[in-house]
Amino acid sequence: DDMNDEINRINQILPHTPATGTIVGGKNEAIKRWIETAYRKMEHYTNEHYRLLREAAILLELALWKAKLEENDEDSPENTVTAKIQIRQCSSKRSEVRITSGADIVIKNVLSFLRLE
């Protein structure tokens, strides 16, 4: 709504702005100020969009990693080693699964649909 309000604002300003003279620069100056304001708002929303994309990519990577860990946990046999060794292997396994989860491929393909271009 904020951008729609900004776009409609010029339609409210121009009819009451003289072509030149008393108001600083007249219609040309009013249009120039309006364009600068609209551009700043678009930049703000574009930056916000990319910030949210980065956040979504991180969440997607973590979700894929978790799904892959759960998938691997289902495949592993129960009670094969002592608890201490399991913890050590689990830490190593978690790091390995993060690398091999395929998140980089999925994220690249998903984000390509969400980029502003």
Q: What is the pLDDT of residues 33-48, one digit of tens each?
A: 899 999 999 999 999 9
Q: What's the pLDDT score for residue 51?
A: 92
Rounded-to-integer distance, Cα 3 and Cα 59, Å? 28
Q: b or e along 32-48 (b: 16 or more beta carbons within 10 Å of the residue's beta carbon)? A: eebeeeeeeeeeeeeee
DSSP 8-state secondary structure symbol assigned to residue 82: -
- Residue with more model confidence, 95 or 1: 1
Could you tell me if 6 and 38 are in contact, meaning their C-beta atoms sit under 8 angstroms apart?
A: yes
- Angle 103-114/26-75 helices, nearest 10 degrees? 160
Enumerate the H helices of 14-116 as residue ranges: 26-75, 83-100, 103-114
Amino acid at 95: S
Sequence-distant (6+) residues with CB within 8 A of 54 are: none
Query: pLDDT for 70-104, tens place per residue?
Result: 776 665 555 444 555 565 566 666 677 666 677 77
